Amino acid sequence: MAPLSSSTREVFSEAVRAVLETWPVLQIAVDNGFGGAFSQQKAEWMVDALQQYFTDNDDLQQDEVEDFISELMNNEFDTVVDDGSLPQVAQQVCGMFQQCEQGRLSEVREQILQLNQKTTSSGRAKATPAQTSQDEDDDDEEEEAMDCEGGSAGASVSSTTVNDHHHPEEEEEDDGWTVVRRKK
């Protein structure tokens, strides 16, 4: 197919940004600094990298996009996405790219608007581990120690509690990787 025009490319870039900004896995990785001191900049760079990936490759399949996003998360945030959200993110981005190729920009803009409204109404995702009865006693002290106020403009930093009690399967995974799992 013919390359996207500059205005179409801008709409697609906005679409990618909207999808990634509403993806809880990336929000948690950024808010908790999984990518180091430049986590926010890495998330912004991911938008450009993903948009460029579509520009440079013809006829991408959803699984190829999933693999690319997974690789970005692994390389930039040391995060293995294991919550089942990756296919949904890839499907959204692929669908919006196809709509942009077909010139259906008003539909893409409407989806961007819906995603942005979802972000403002629901807020940011928070990483909070499940509590056990032993954790409740130490909860106040741990939250005080981990409480982070402020942050960059428009971004809220979630406070998390540290859980010193590991499950056996977590100990086996203690190889330096951060695993994001689906809520049960």
Closest CA relative to residue 65, chosen from 100, 98, 42: 98
Question: Is 153 part of a structural domain of the chain?
Answer: no
Is pLDDT of 43 > 90?
A: yes
Is pLDDT of 18 > 60?
A: yes
In 10 A of CB 130, how many CB atoms? 8
Residues 137-145 have a mean pLDDT of 46
Choose the weakest-confidence range: 48-57, 84-93, 124-133: 124-133
Question: Is 94 part of a structural domain of the chain?
Answer: yes
86-95, pLDDT tens digit by residue? 999 999 999 9
Question: Is 113 part of a structural domain of the chain?
Answer: yes
Domain range for 122 is 1-148+159-184
Question: Is 105 part of a structural domain of the chain?
Answer: yes
Residues 102-122 have a mean pLDDT of 86
Closest CA relative to residue 70, chosen from 38, 109, 26, 30: 26
Q: Which residue has the higher pLDDT, 124 or 112?
A: 112
Question: Is 154 part of a structural domain of the chain?
Answer: no
Closest CA relative to residue 161, chosen from 125, 124, 136: 136
Question: Is 51 part of a structural domain of the chain?
Answer: yes
Q: What is the mean pLDDT of the chain?
A: 77
Number of domains forming the structure of the chain: 1
Question: Is 120 part of a structural domain of the chain?
Answer: yes
Cα–Cα distance measured from residue 10 to residue 112, given in angstroms and rounded to the nearest whole number: 12
Angle at 143 between CA 137 and CA 148, to 5 degrees: 180
Question: Is 7 part of a structural domain of the chain?
Answer: yes
Choose the weakest-confidence range: 60-64, 107-111, 139-143, 149-153: 149-153
Q: Which residue has the higher pLDDT, 123 or 179?
A: 179
